[in-house]
Every structure is written in C-alpha cells, then in structure tokens.
Amino acid sequence: MQDSKSVGVVIPQYVQIDKPLQLKSGLSLDSYHLVYETYGQLNAARSNAVLICHALSGTHHVAGVYADNEKSVGWWDNMVGPGKPIDTNRLFVIGVNNLGGCHGSTGPASIDPRTGKHYGASFPVVTVEDWVETQAQLAEHLGIKQFAAVVGGSLGGMQAMQWTLDYPEKVRHALVIAAAPKLTAQNIAFNDVARQAIMTDQEFYGGNFYAYDTLPRRGLRLARMLGHITYLSDDSMAAKFGRSLRNGELSFGFDVEFEIESYLRYQGDKFADLFDANSYLLMTKALDYFDPAGSYDGDLSSAFRVAKANFLVISFTSDWRFSPERSREIVKALLKNKLNVSYAEITSSHGHDSFLMTTPCYHQLVRAYMDNISI
Amino acid sequence: MQDSKSVGVVIPQYVQIDKPLQLKSGLSLDSYHLVYETYGQLNAARSNAVLICHALSGTHHVAGVYADNEKSVGWWDNMVGPGKPIDTNRLFVIGVNNLGGCHGSTGPASIDPRTGKHYGASFPVVTVEDWVETQAQLAEHLGIKQFAAVVGGSLGGMQAMQWTLDYPEKVRHALVIAAAPKLTAQNIAFNDVARQAIMTDQEFYGGNFYAYDTLPRRGLRLARMLGHITYLSDDSMAAKFGRSLRNGELSFGFDVEFEIESYLRYQGDKFADLFDANSYLLMTKALDYFDPAGSYDGDLSSAFRVAKANFLVISFTSDWRFSPERSREIVKALLKNKLNVSYAEITSSHGHDSFLMTTPCYHQLVRAYMDNISI
C-alpha cells in the first residue's frame, strides 16, 4: 500500500478578476473575486494541473488543514494528497469556491461595490456555464492553458462535463462522478421544497436578512435535513439508524425520539449556522438549470459533439439522487461521439454520498486512471 | 362491464362515546366523538359490514357526494359504490374519521371539555392500536359483532392489520394495500422533516395557534409538498411534469419556474388551509409508531400468531414509500402462520398513490376478492 499523508497545512489564496463577466442570465458582474487553494507543484510544462469542482455545499478547501484549526480537514482529503488517488506528489491540484458561494468567493454575502451593501437577493442567478467561465479566468491567472484533468462529483461532475463542452481544447480528461446530464422532476421537486423552506422562513426577508442581523435558520435547517435524506441510501439509513430510539423507549411526544431524527436535526442545526441561505438557493438553481442537451432537443450526444476529452464516468449502486442510469445516459452520449470513456458502477451502500467515501475499488479506479494520465 | 354509479348523496353521522378510552401512551380520554358515513344496507344477519380505514390525510368521506357540494367526491369513490369493487349493493360499508383527525372526530381542533379550550398541543399522541379500539366502539354502537372485511391502504392497511391482531374474532377478511409492517429510517426521516417544518413555523405557537387566530400555513405547506414527492414515483413525475417550464423559458429567478414546482406549491397551498397542523403531527406519529413485531423482538410472524383472518395483500411496483418488499414481509409472516393469504404486486407507475387509482387489474382483483367473501 502506498504511503498516504495529508497535504498538511494549506493557505487559501484570492484572485480578483476585474474583467466583466457576462452571465447566462443576461446580467453581468463588473468584477468578482475567487478564493482557491492549490496542492502540489505546477510543473515546468504546466501540464499537470487538475481542477477540482465542488458540489452543492462544497468549498475550495478540498484537502489539508488550516494552521489554526486542525479539525478543518478538506472535504476530499481522502482523495487528494501525496500518494493519494489524485496524487499531489505528481499533480498540481486546484480547488476553487464557486461564484455565488459563501466561503470566500464573491457571493450574496459579499458587499456589492455598486451599492456598498450585501448583494443578498440581488446576486444574479449563476449557472454551471458561468462557473466554468470563472474557473477559466482562474486558470489564465495561474498560467494554465490546459488542464490534465477536471474532476468533480455531483454538481462538480456537471462542471467537469461543461468544461469539455465550453473549452474542448483546455481539458484532456474529465472525471464525472455521481453526476447526471440534467435533473429529473423529482430532483427539482426536492430542491424546490428546500428553497421554499428557506424563502418562506420569516427571517429570510426576501434574501436581505443581513440587514436585520438574523439568519433564516429554520428554513436552512429544513433544507439541509431534506438534503441529507437524499444523500443517504434507504439501506444505509436502515443500517446506521434503523428504528433505534434515542432514549430507549417511546415518549409519545414530538421531541427527538428516533436516532435518525436526532442525526438529521443535528446536521440541520450545524449547517444553518455555517452556510448562507442565498448561496443555497443559487446552488440548487444551478443544479436545476444544468441541461447541455437542452439546446439540442434533448439529444445529449449532439451536445457532446464538440468534446475532445477522455472521460472517466463513475456511478454508485445505491445513489438514488443521481442513479447509475443517469451516468449510463452520459456514457452512451460519449460513446456515440466515439470519445474515450471508461465507466464503472461501484457497489456501495452509501447512496449519493458515496463519492465522498473511501470505497477501496472506487479509489483504486480513480488512482489507476489518474496515474495513467500523461503529464 | 358492470353498471357502476356513485353511492350518491351521503350524510355524515356522529357517535358520542362516553366510555373512557385508555390510550397506549398511558393517557386517557374521558369521552370522544367520531364522525362516520355508511353506504349500503346492513343485512339482517349483520354479516355484510366492511370497515374502510383511511390513511394520513384521509377522512370518513369515502364515497358519494354531499348535497351542498357536488364536487365533494369521497376519496375512494372509485372503489366503493353500487356495482363497484367494494359493492354497496351487497355490502354495508363504513368510513370513519380517526381520533385526532380534523374532519369531525375529536381531535386537536376540538374543544377539550375539561378546559373549554381547543385541545391543540395537549391532544394526546394516538396510535393505530388506539384507533382500532375506537373503531371497535363504533362497531358496537352499530350492532356489528364481526366485520366481513376491514380494508385500508397505507396507514389504513396498518389499521386493517391491527384489527386482525387486536380483534381476531371480529374480522373475517383484511385487505392490506400499499402498507408496511413498520416504517424504515428513511420513512421516519421524511415524516420528521415534515413535522419540523410545522413545529418551527413561527405561527405554530407550540400547537396552540387557534388562540392566535392564525395557522402555521408555511410549515404545513412544506410538509404537504414533501409528502407529495414521496407519494409519486420518479417515473410518473417525469412523465407528468418532466422539466417542463411554466412560462416556456428560464426566468433566472426564484418564482415558480418548472411545472413540478407549480404543482407542488398548488398542492401545498390547498392543503395548508384544509388540514389541521396538529392532526398532521399526530397522523405521522401514528405511522412512525406502528410496529406489531416490536413486542416480539422484530419477529412479525410471532406477532401474527393470534390472527385468524383471511388476507388480501396488495403492493404496487412503483411505490417507493412502501415498496413491494414491505408487503412481501407481511405475506411471509402470514404464511408462516398458515393463514390464508392472497398477494399481488400490481404493475403501476403511480407510486404510493397507486392504491387510490383505478388500475384495471387492481380493481378487478379487489372485486374478485370481495365478491368471494361470504356474507
């Protein structure tokens, strides 16, 4: 087994982009900034750069820890690091917080230079295409003309796909994990209930809660609780919680009774203090909007005609949010274009969250694929 | 094809039970009333009575219409009526609103005679066993010593099962449709998010919103939207709504955009004005608590040892709330006790809602089973 250590202490960096950004919505941003982290070293040929795109609640902090908080481990620290499947001994790995996020990049909680107030509800709706555009600006800033790979899970996988469509020359490999070519009605429905929970919270104030020195915690908590149900598989919830009672016996009341209730409420409470409600709306909207085949009458293979990248597509058996069937749709469209695609459906009980787990054959697969990328 | 008509105009009836009711919670009710409807005629031998048990949001109004509102069709009017699968030309069919409900039976919105105020949050948590006890009181009031059949879907099916356990002599046939022997962690999780939505609504006032002349509409609306997602199958949502846009194009905003959002919000709004929030909490709690095997170390067949009824168990292929696998657990437990059980898994795309639909082979099956019941 290879010697695996964490990347260690990392320091976020910022880039200010003063070039106007034309958004898909028709609106534009005069300027914006992005927070990002890098791990490993960019080689002389600048041919070993790998971009990691985060998902709904993800951040630029992909791996390592912060000096002042050893518990602040990056969300994909098990995947990215020296000797890990995405090997920072060999690769230069970049994590960036997307526009509209709430971890340092320009977003609803940022101050709008035009008004001097928080963007709040006036922050424009952003799409996956907009994000790729900003990530391309970051690449330019770092002197990277082409990525060895663009990697992402879930919404991150959608960004990886979009890279191959918008910048076919700039991405050699795309790793599309636990993703889908577009959301189903059921996916959109869950997102809309989450949004409505936030937007009907009396402390949301139409998105301008900053001015009232409050947070729409109730709504964001509900949104997160609901999200968690969709991230876990029925079986894993049964195995982990089943019908276990918190206090050993029925209470005939409405406080926490079952362990699953305790878990969800804990997750919800934690999240409500950490994540910006407006960012949550924007992230779910970007998910809903992603639909490359939409401009091609629903024909995904037509959408992928421009792509040149090599693909690794991965799905997980128990993922019912973005099921293996969704990944197979992607693979079929890629094959129709005679693109190089490797596909694996990994047996896992962890549901949609599987892409964050360390299932051995999943990590071995990513490692093998990444090791095979010439830099 | 048989001539099928509705039962026509019906009039709800009330029964006041002044016998104290000992609840599973340990609390008791000195007295209570139940609203019910009957269709057809009780025969001289009183051998043709069929009890219909409603589900989470169901009522006593199973079939027919009210004189003052021809749109007020009973929730199972397609199943119950003259010449219908549950044939009121032959059977005496009873629908009753369960205790804790909000359609006329004693519930949280009723006035507590001890205080002169709405029960509100002080209404005791009620269980499926408690409901069967009250239904037995109703049967006694109607002079019915034994039911030819007790029928129910979802939570109603749980009541049908409970009848065979609590009153083995009083039920000849149990029709258990789209039910489960107990809820999974995922089921409980969805119920808890719904309850939290209601209970954290600032206009819930701990369940005593009656005193504030308001309703926790936001929370109840969210609960119903979420419920609807679980009642429909992924495929039927895709077929019915897909990614259709309400206004033909993306709006890059957070108002209703996709047709599925419009549908869910409409359903939520309607429900929020019609259903009592406290009743919703009670109904989901009864669902969570139902677990006959719980007193037998999880062994459902031990629980059914006392049963004598004949069973018809029905599941629907696309039901992911109470999947066919859950019905098979019931069937296995019944077979272990050498009980007469007929089982069918009906092919249907309507998800959990299938039990309310008119899928031909489903209705033919129920008709055949019911016609075969000797009265």
Consecutive 10-residue averages of pLDDT for chain B (375 residues)? 76 97 97 98 98 97 96 97 98 98 98 93 97 98 98 98 98 98 97 98 97 96 97 95 94 95 96 97 98 97 98 98 98 98 97 97 98 97
Q: What is the pLDDT of residue A5?
A: 85
Quick one: B148 and B215 in the same domain? no
Which among B192, B225, B238 is the nearest to A184, CB-wise?
Answer: B238
SS (HEC) of chain B: CCCCCCCCECCCEEEEECCCEECCCCCEECCEEEEEEEECCCCCCCCCEEEEECCCCCCCCCCCEECCECCCCCCCCCCEECCCCEECCCCEEEEECCCCCCCCCCCCCCECCCCCCECHHHCCCCCHHHHHHHHHHHHHHCCCCCEEEEEEECHHHHHHHHHHHHCHHHEEEEEEECCCCCCCHHHHHHHHHHHHHHHCCCCCHHHCHHHHCCCCHHHHHHHHHHHHHHHCCHHHHHHHCCCCECCCCCCCCCCCCEHHHHHHHHHHHHHHHHCCHHHHHHHHHHHHHCCHHHHHCCCHHHHHHHCCCEEEEEEECCCCCCCHHHHHHHHHHHHHCCCCEEEEEECCCCHHHHHHCCCHHHHHHHHHHHHCCCC
Are the Cβ atoms of B254 and A229 closer than 8 angstroms?
no
Quick one: B50 and B130 in the same domain? yes
Which among A25, A228, A260 is the nearest to B188, CB-wise?
Answer: A260
* Chains A–B, number of C-beta pairs less than 8 Å apart: 144
- The answer to whether A235 touches A318, Cβ cutoff 8 Å, is yes
Residues of chain A with pLDDT under 50: 1-2
Return the closest-CA partner of residue B5 out of B63, B45, B44, B46: B63
Domain membership of residue B256 (yes or no) is yes
Domain membership of residue A8 (yes or no) is no
Q: What is the pLDDT of residue A70?
A: 87
Quick one: B26 and B114 in the same domain? yes
Quick one: A191 and A273 in the same domain? yes
Domain membership of residue B227 (yes or no) is yes
- If one counts the domains in chain A, the total is 2
Minimal CA separation from B190 to chain A, in Å: 7
Q: What is the pLDDT of residue B2?
A: 46
Are the Cβ atoms of A243 and B188 closer than 8 angstroms?
yes
Q: Give the residue numbers spanning the domain of B202.
A: 187-284
Q: What is the pLDDT of residue B75?
A: 98
Last residue of a domain, one of B284, B301, B319: B284
Domain membership of residue A1 (yes or no) is no
Quick one: B44 and B176 in the same domain? yes
A185-199 and B259-274 helices cross at what angle (nearest 10)?
50
Query: Which residue carries 């205790």 as its tokens?
Result: B99
Domain membership of residue B152 (yes or no) is yes
Q: What is the pLDDT of residue B148?
A: 98
Tell which of A193, A208, A289 to mutate to test the B interface (max B CBs under 10 Å): A193
Sorted by sequence, the CB contacts under 8 Å of residue A122 that are 6+ apart come out as: A112, A115, A207
Question: In this structure, which amino acid lies at residue A44?
Answer: A
Quick one: A97 and A166 in the same domain? yes
Quick one: B154 and B231 in the same domain? no
Are the Cβ atoms of A238 and B25 closer than 8 angstroms?
no
Domain membership of residue B269 (yes or no) is yes
Last residue of a domain, one of A227, A253, A284: A284
Quick one: A27 and A74 in the same domain? yes
Q: Which segments within chain A are labelled E, that is strand?
A: 13-17, 21-22, 28-29, 32-39, 49-53, 80-81, 86-87, 92-96, 147-153, 171-177, 310-316, 341-346
Q: What is the pLDDT of residue B4?
A: 61
Domain membership of residue A108 (yes or no) is yes
Quick one: A193 and A127 in the same domain? no
Half-sphere exposure of A120 (CA within 13 A, CB side): 19
Show residues of chain B in contact with A218, CB under 8 Å: 200-202
pTM: 0.96
Show residues of chain B in contact with A192, CB under 8 Å: 225, 258, 260-261, 264-265
Return the CATH number at A89: 3.40.50.1820
Minimal CA separation from A316 to chain B, in Å: 18
- The answer to whether B196 touches A266, Cβ cutoff 8 Å, is no
Which among B124, B232, B254 is the nearest to A281, CB-wise?
Answer: B254
Quick one: B121 and B257 in the same domain? no
Q: How many Cβ atoms from other residues are within 10 Å of residue B264's Cβ? A: 29
- The reply to whether B154 belongs to the active site is yes
Are the Cβ atoms of A202 and B202 closer than 8 angstroms?
yes
The Cα–Cα gap between A294 and A310 comes to: 23
Q: What is the pLDDT of residue B257?
A: 95
Quick one: B60 and B111 in the same domain? yes
Binding site of B for substrate, by residue number, is: 224, 353
Q: What is the pLDDT of residue A4?
A: 61
Q: How many Cβ atoms from other residues are within 10 Å of residue A210's Cβ? A: 18
The Cα–Cα gap between A139 and B96 comes to: 67
Residue of B nearest to A207 (CA): B254
Residue of A nearest to B284 (CA): A254
Return the CATH number at B243: 1.10.1740.110
Quick one: A78 and A164 in the same domain? yes
Last residue of a domain, one of A243, A261, A284: A284
Question: In this structure, which amino acid lies at residue A340?
Answer: N
Domain membership of residue A44 (yes or no) is yes
Are the Cβ atoms of B254 and A25 closer than 8 angstroms?
no
| ipTM rounded to 2 decimals | 0.94
Show residues of chain A in contact with B319, CB under 8 Å: none
